[in-house]
Structure 1
Amino acid sequence: MSTPIDTADEVLSGEAVAIDIQPLGFFMRTLGALIDMALSWALFLLFLWLRTWLLVTGIVTGAIDGIMNVLAIVVCFVVVPIVMELALRGRSLGKLAVGGRIVRLDGGATGFRHAFIRALIGVLETYMTFGAIALLSGAFTARSQRLGDLVAGTYSQRVRTPKLIPLVAVMPPALAGWAQIADAARMPDRLARRITQFLQHAERMSPSARARIAHELVAETAEYVSPQPAAHPEQLLIAITVLRRERERRALAIADARAEKLSGRHVGV
């Protein structure tokens, strides 16, 4: 389970790696909101046409016309946004189009309470003011949060990210000589996995979180890696990763060679 850390846009993963969580930009969020507004207005206009047809045909009398209008407003502008957000797990038609999703401030999934607050306040800031309040609020908040988000404790997270290129670690030239005499065989596999995950996510972290996590991981390796060279923490972590990888490859090659030799002796006998 992810737990929040001090930096506002970071989440600490189960492997103690701070991952930068990126909110959806103001322009993309506005575009998504316009799509959602168009859907709600289209449903409302459809209801008005249906109501007119029912009145003309005499199926519905004028006595309940007002009730139907109120019901239409509630359904189109409150109920539909809530149902869509719950059914699509924080997304809507507009958010699907722009690649966003509503999440809590700690990055967790939202629930009915969040969707209800956002939809209820959205009637005021989005529909009654034609989006003016939402635009002002989004323009002056770091995560482009509208008023409903500020009250509900949510924001729109970007879920479409560029495809990551698999990291292939290469021994830093400055540590090539150190690698000839270094010993990292005693390092626990769990620590090695944390280092690998850190290197994979390093480019997506904020500089402060990146430097802090690198120093912490290097400090943890001091007990298992010797000698400890005077090198940049991130460069040392790369060197340790490459060192373990190459020695594991050599160990597997030796094991395969021994297995083939034993197999050959067995056949000869």
Structure 2
Amino acid sequence: MPRQSELITGDAVVLDLRVARLASRCLAFCLDVLLQAALLLGVLLLLNSVGGVDGTLLTVIMLVLVVLVVVGYPTIAETLSRGRTLGKLALGLRVVRDDGGPVRLRHALTRALAAFFVDFWALGLLGAVAFVVSFCSKDGKRVGDFLAGTLVVRERVPASDAPVIAMPPPLAEWASRLDLTGLSDDLALAARQYLGRYGELNEQARQQLGGRLAEDVARAIGAPIPMDAPPWAYLSAVLAERRAREHARHSGYRPSPYQPPAQDSGGTPPEPPGPFAPPG
């Protein structure tokens, strides 16, 4: 069983994220190293083809390039993609903050510098330090993760482990008219995790966390929570509709262009009818 990390939300509600296994992290790291080596080799061949470069100067240039590639590649990749290098993307991994939020430049730069100086290269004994520290950490953290306040999690989980998000029938027609372009992957993931653990949360946690997530989603997509619709139903409708559109897009079917829903005098979509039955 993969280990799980307990993350505390702003409402002090514990959510579980699946911590990446050491083997998958090592494989992702190896893929990134191969990419970095190919990039450095390409630059070296280019410098050699130019000619006329002094041997000492060439050595200095290569040392600078090594530092720039080894530190710059993961920093830029994890900052722009919110926690993923190409190796992590291939393995379905992502770096997140300890509170579950997306990493930023300072987190990525701290991890990259620690990787170069401590975890892998300068003092890392070719990864021995990172391996030992990660093996001893319950969350699989290396030195860079401890310094940056991050951890690596599995972004893709087996289908049997993923919660099945069903469309609440009263919200089906309403959801089909939503504009979901503003819904980020991070927010959708948080909503899926909430729905997946709905049965494990107490009533207070269901209401507090569900209400906050529903409000965040409502702001992102510009569609207020329908009257009489509980937060879980609103989130289920949005995620189920998002999944249906993604499936249609990948299957080659082109859905009809989004049409803004009819609005009342208050500028909100018409309210769908209830009632709603709690999940499972």
**TM-score, length basis structure 2:** 0.55
| Contact 2:74/2:112 (<8 A) preserved | yes
Counterpart in 1 of 2:202? 214
CA deviation after TM superposition for structure 1 residue 66, in Å? 3.1
Kindly tell me: are residues 154 and 10 of structure 1, through their superposed partners in 2, closer, same or farther at Cα, counting changes over 3 Å? closer
Partner-residue secondary structure (3-state), 2:152: strand
Aligned partners of 2:100 and 2:205: how far apart in 1?
Answer: 24
Q: Are positions 1:10 and 2:4 aligned together? A: no
Partner-residue secondary structure (3-state), 1:9: strand
Counterpart in 2 of 1:107? 100
Kindly tell me: are residues 44 and 95 of structure 1, through their superposed partners in 2, closer, same or farther at Cα, counting changes over 3 Å? same
Q: Are positions 1:127 and 2:115 aligned together? A: no
Counterpart in 2 of 1:202? 197
CA deviation after TM superposition for structure 1 residue 31, in Å? 1.1
Of the three residues 15, 20, 27, the one matched with 1:19 is 15
CA deviation after TM superposition for structure 1 residue 217, in Å? 6.8
Aligned partners of 1:93 and 1:198: how far apart in 2?
Answer: 25
Aligned partners of 1:217 and 1:70: how far apart in 2?
Answer: 53
Q: Are positions 1:156 and 2:162 aligned together? A: no
| Contact 2:15/2:193 (<8 A) preserved | no
CA deviation after TM superposition for structure 1 residue 8, in Å? 5.3
Counterpart in 1 of 2:132? 136
Query: Matched residue pairs, number?
Result: 181
**TM-score, length basis structure 1:** 0.57
Aligned partners of 1:69 and 1:31: how far apart in 2?
Answer: 26
Which AA in structure 1 matches 2:197? A
Q: Are positions 1:117 and 2:110 aligned together? A: yes
Of the three residues 46, 50, 66, the one matched with 1:50 is 46
CA deviation after TM superposition for structure 1 residue 84, in Å? 1.1
Specify every segment of 5 or more residues in structure 2 that has no aligned partner in the other structure, as ranges.
169-191, 209-231, 233-273
Deviation track 1:4-54 (CA, whole Å, cap 9, x = no partner) reads xxx95134477x864322211111111111111111122222223233333
Which AA in structure 1 matches 2:202? A
Which AA in structure 1 matches 2:121? Y
Aligned partners of 1:198 and 1:120: how far apart in 2?
Answer: 32
| Contact 1:103/1:155 (<8 A) preserved | yes
Counterpart in 2 of 1:182? none
| Contact 2:22/2:140 (<8 A) preserved | yes
- Please give the residue correspondences for 1:206-245 in structure 2 after superposition, counting only pairs within 5 Å: 210=200, 213-214=201-202, 216=204
Aligned partners of 1:127 and 1:42: how far apart in 2?
Answer: 17
Partner-residue secondary structure (3-state), 2:121: helix
Aligned partners of 2:35 and 2:47: how far apart in 1?
Answer: 18
Counterpart in 2 of 1:267? none
Q: Which has the higher helix share?
A: 1
Partner-residue secondary structure (3-state), 1:108: coil
Aligned partners of 2:106 and 2:25: how far apart in 1?
Answer: 21
Stretch moving more, 102-111 or 44-53: 44-53
| Contact 1:145/1:156 (<8 A) preserved | yes
Report the structure number with the largest CA radius of gyration.
Answer: 1
Kindly tell me: are residues 107 and 78 of structure 1, through their superposed partners in 2, closer, same or farther at Cα, counting changes over 3 Å? same
| Contact 1:81/1:119 (<8 A) preserved | yes
